[in-house]
Amino acid sequence: MGAGAAQIGGGALKIGAGMWQIRAGREQKAAYYQSAQILKSEGLLAATQALNVGTIMREEGAAFIGTQKVAYAKSGVMLEGSPLAVLVETATQTERDAMLAREEGKLEQIRYAQQADIERKTGHSIGTAATAQGFSTIVGGGTDMMGGMSA
């Protein structure tokens, strides 16, 4: 086997390696994109769960206020002054807690979205770099093959 044949064979191997690099880059990019989609879904789930927690807090708070009103009514206490202040404070605290739960869910969703964005950008960068490297390897292999043909 002559030097030209060896160059052609080496060039063919480089072309194959370049094609593999491109494929591997695409697979990595797809994996990062899938990871980003999962993170985005987890963020939506976290926000939904927080909204549900806030709704439950409101419902439980309303039920507790109803229990307080019944207890005051049974004891003959008028709902003014101190007893009314207790009811208002209970309602205010319940609403504050529900809003806090919802806001925490929104913040968690934002954190997940930011992480998903990082995953997408990383995947894009890796895919682009692998494609560029793959094409460079293919061109190098083609050049080697051409050199082998002229030898």
Q: How does pLDDT run across 64-111, given as a tens digit for each residue?
A: 888 988 887 888 877 777 888 888 888 999 999 999 999 999 999 999
Domain locations along the chain = 3-150
Going by C-beta distance under 8 Å and a sequence separation of 6 or more, which residues neighbour residue 132?
none
Q: Decide if pLDDT at 151 tops 70.
A: no
Higher confidence at residue 6 or residue 61? 61
Q: What is the mean pLDDT of residues 35-42?
A: 95
State in Å, rounded, how far the first CA of the chain is from the last one. 12
Q: Decide if pLDDT at 149 tops 60.
A: yes
Classify the C-alpha dihedral 59-62-64-66 as positive or negative.
Answer: negative
Global confidence as pTM: 0.71
Q: Decide if pLDDT at 25 tops 80.
A: yes
Do residues 3 and 136 make contact, with C-beta atoms less than 8 angstroms apart? no
**Token pair of 113, please?**
């979205």
Q: What is the mean pLDDT of residues 26-47?
A: 95
What pLDDT is recorded for position 1? 55
Distance from C-alpha of 61 to C-alpha of 58, rounded to nearest angstrom: 5
